[in-house]
Chain A
Amino acid sequence: MLEQRDRTRDLGALRAAVRAFLEAERAAGAFHPRANAWMGGVDIDFSRRLAERGWVGMAMPREFGGQGLGARERFVVTEELLAAGAPVAYHWIADRQVAPAILRHGTPEQREAFLPGIVRAEIAFGLGMSEPDSGSDLASVRTRAERVPGGWALTGTKLWTSGAHIATHLIVLARTSTTGPKHAGLSQFLVPLPHADIRISAIETIDGARHFNEVVFDQAVVPEDALLGVEGNGWQQVTGELVNERAGAERIMSTLPLLREWSETGPDTVDARRDLGRMVARLVILRRMGESVASALDAQVDAATLASVLKSVGTTYEGEVLDVIRQHVNDTDADDLLAKVQECVTESPAFTLRGGTNEVLRTIVAKGLMRP
């Protein structure tokens, strides 16, 4: 119990430290809060300043430059970053899922090669998963990796690859065997960028943003040690990663900066106050569910189903927040809140798509429930 109280106190102190840092950054004009900044807010210098304070890769062991802290400490830091609408996209993917994957599946050499760089926000990853013909049906990927003298040759196309144009590396899911069921014969590779035989081109999204890319591999040779984990074990490795990808606070809090901004204008009509209360109530309960997932990850409990539930409910909530605020603000307001909401509305279809559509998630949940 004493240990528990100590940890709670430490979490409070950590939250206070992150919040103070963010307030100072904001006061200095280092960033302007915006919604969905974990996807759209790229600021390498900001990521490095966070890293200097130990808040990137903080769950990594000390020998790799991390702090050896747990999922709950990371949860507190990510919550504060999201609530502030801070530009964290540069390091987000590596911090969230690639570093844990390398720690879990990597060789000692790979850990040494990647983890300290991730913790310093010098190495940034893009996720080479989806393809032109493989979106929700991820196991059907066709990009192949063939053994060549001294390494592997990658051939194929990855699509909707967020941040590939700014990343230093990609983590690529590719087929290393075409025999057997589609979930077998997949492997993961750590691919450095830029690469002479990898072509990255931008895909503009409906919100006018450029974080999507098409990535074409043309017999791109990577060294032997680019293979992460066990050849043929890629599907198990990726689905483990997806729990981290789906369970985070960014599936609840992408639009929280706008909810805060609206709330601070002092909604005072009966229906505005009720709507504010509704949105805050859902935030309170969903973040407590998120904390439960973080606790489960800390305790090495399988949290895949709960993570899927949380992502489905949480991303729906993110869109609802926009739909509510929209009805209570107008363009005569002193600030540009309505414009920010409208801008975010055009980004919002991504909420329930990225990281696995809600339909894929519901299929996962149903399979778990209906298992005889």
Chain B
Amino acid sequence: MTNEHLESLRSAVEDIVEPFMPTRSGPATFDAQAWATLDALGFTSLTLREGLGGSGGSLEDASVVLGAAALLDIPLADALFVAAPMLEAGSLSWPGGVVTASEAGGLELSQGSDGAFLSGRVSGVPWACDADHVVLLGQVPEPWVAVVATNDAAHGVTVVPDRRVDRGTLILDRAQPVSWSSLAPRPWADVILRRRAAGTVVQIASAARQALAMSIEHVRVREQFGRALSEFQVIQHMVAELAECCAVVDECARSAVSACDSDDPGDVLVLASAKAEASSAVHRICGLAHQLHGAMGFTAEHALGARTKRLNLWRDEAGNERFWATRIASIVEDAGGDPWAIVAPLEVGRAAVGTVV
């Protein structure tokens, strides 16, 4: 896809989501209207192929859409980076409505005389209480993907909220999936974790860019000691440092998206590095943006908090920097102990330096 294509996609989605962007930092509440708007335009199922009800977009396209809509309280990352690719892997159709997704570890898919059924609990499902369908991935007895309708007590599905309001638990009692399919062997739990990590890094990069733009705007307008804050060199350097962090996190997003779908150890290293670096940058990004905004940015009515609160959640989502750093140590060990051999491999994987322009 060309840069112009991605740029026009970005600006189109930015215009669409503009009315839904948070202007203050409040508790997360599901934004049904934002979902419905994006859904009606086909953006929620973008990464599923056309024959299955999507529009055949790439993960790169999805990252542009998700970047523009990162702050919305809807399961867009889950839909674009997990649900649609999993449905694609199982050749299942988009179920419609509000769609979210979750890995379902030990949940067993059994087959009886009247079809397949699921029993057990799945916790921490993003926006489970507001979703119409959940795409689940399990490994028992063999890898499978299944779509479960949430408002379906008659068929053994109950949803209860978790402590976090944007998470819920599915309680399945011989629940019949709307559709299901078995999958070819692959480290699916890890695939999902990596895709979630990539989506989260895209969101971090987006919120960081917004925090930078807001900070630049603020220091230009706000005057103290008789001049704009932007005229103080100490302020200029803080803005530059914030921009440095944003440049790093932007690279993390590009790297994560290009690498997240490959099981090649070199690509897993790229994805792991992207999430580790993006997560560890959040502390500096939030610190600088708030410091530049002074007390104003610390109030609930200011839009900065809506960015920094999410950044602080996202750095822990899909593995924090400690988790991924430890994983990287294992990758280096498995490659023989020399980091350079795996950082710059001679046999290049999908996300190798030099393949992305």
Highest count of chain B CB atoms <10 Å: which of A8, A267, A280, A309: A280
In the complex, chain A residues whose CB is within 8 Å of the CB of B353: 287-288, 291
Interface residue stretch chosen among A127-135, A196-204, A233-241, A358-366: A358-366
CA distance A264 to B273 in the complex (A): 19
Interface residue stretch chosen among A207-215, A270-278, A325-333: A270-278
Task: Decide if B338 touches A263 in the complex (CB within 8 Å).
Answer: yes
Interface size class for chain A?
35 or more
Contact of A69 with B by CB under 8 A? no
Given A83-B344, A291-B353, CB of A312 within 8 Å of CB of B325: no
Task: Decide if B243 touches A281 in the complex (CB within 8 Å).
Answer: no
CB distance from B280 to the nearest CB of A (A): 7
Contact of A68 with B by CB under 8 A? no
Chain A residue, CB-CB nearest to B250: A289
Given A72-B354, A274-B329, CB of A362 within 8 Å of CB of B343: no
Question: In the complex, which of the residues B243, B248, B339 contacts A263, with contact meaning CB atoms closer than 8 Å?
Answer: B339
Interface residue stretch chosen among B35-43, B108-116, B230-238: B230-238
CB distance from A46 to the nearest CB of B (A): 20
Question: In the complex, which of the residues B337, B338, B347, B357 contacts A295, with contact meaning CB atoms closer than 8 Å?
Answer: B357
CB distance from B277 to the nearest CB of A (A): 5
Contact of B348 with A by CB under 8 A? yes
Question: Which A258-311 residues sit within 8 Å CB-CB of chain B?
Answer: 259-260, 263-264, 266-267, 270, 273-278, 280-289, 291-292, 295, 306, 309-310
In the complex, chain A residues whose CB is within 8 Å of the CB of B244: 309, 312-313, 362, 365
CB distance from B332 to the nearest CB of A (A): 6
Contact of B60 with A by CB under 8 A? no
In the complex, chain B residues whose CB is within 8 Å of the CB of A288: 251, 254-255, 270, 353
CA distance A350 to B325 in the complex (A): 28
In the complex, chain B residues whose CB is within 8 Å of the CB of A80: 344
Task: Decide if A285 touches B348 in the complex (CB within 8 Å).
Answer: no
Contact of B352 with A by CB under 8 A? yes
Contact of B220 with A by CB under 8 A? yes
CB distance from A32 to the nearest CB of B (A): 17
Q: 7 extra interchain contacts, Cβ-Cβ under 8 A, other than A280-B343, A283-B339?
A: A15-B346, A284-B343, A309-B247, A362-B236, A363-B233, A366-B239, A369-B243
Give the 9 A-B residue pairs with the shortest CB-CB distance, closest first: A277-B325, A277-B328, A366-B236, A284-B273, A362-B240, A273-B329, A281-B273, A365-B240, A281-B276
15 contacts between A and B (CB under 8 A): A256-B340, A274-B322, A277-B272, A280-B273, A280-B328, A280-B339, A280-B343, A283-B339, A288-B255, A289-B247, A309-B243, A313-B244, A359-B237, A363-B236, A366-B237
